[in-house]
Amino acid sequence: MTFKHSNAAKTTVTRDVAKLDHEIGNVYETVALLGKRANQISVAIKEELSSKLEEFAVNGENLEEVYENREQIEVSKHYERMPKPGALAIQELVEGNLYYRRAGEEAGNDQKA
């Protein structure tokens, strides 16, 4: 999934918990599932950002010289403006794009929330 073009909320939004846990059936399982998915999204975004910022790494011995790189600043600002991983996970759940499997079930019984 591309996180850049998601229509997730960029600000805090009050959610009705009864509607969020409707698909899964349990508030606690829903929160745990959203937390795990948010962690996965966070790791993916961090890896993507790190790979983009590696291009701007200074390999010289003169670390005292600090200069502004306009492209690096724009990349950083773009990632700061993106929705938070928790909001992206909730949006996936609302849109029905979140796949999960309960422990103890067979591998073929993947469920779509």
Task: Note the pLDDT tens digit of each residue in 59-103.
Answer: 655 555 556 678 888 888 888 889 999 999 999 998 888 888 877
Q: What is the pLDDT of residue 44?
A: 94
Percent of the chain predicted with pLDDT > 90: 26
Strand pairing partners for 100? 111
113/96 Cα distance (integer angstroms): 5
Confidence label for 3 from pLDDT (cuts 50, 70 and 90): low
- Domain assignment present for residue 107? The answer is no
Find the Cα–Cα–Cα–Cα dihedral 91, 94, 97, 101, rounded to 10°: 110
Domain that holds residue 48: 17-99
- Domain assignment present for residue 95? The answer is yes
- Domain assignment present for residue 35? The answer is yes
- Domain assignment present for residue 81? The answer is yes
User: How many domains, the chain?
Assistant: 1
pLDDT for 54 beyond 50: yes
Radius of gyration of the chain measured on its C-alpha atoms: 19
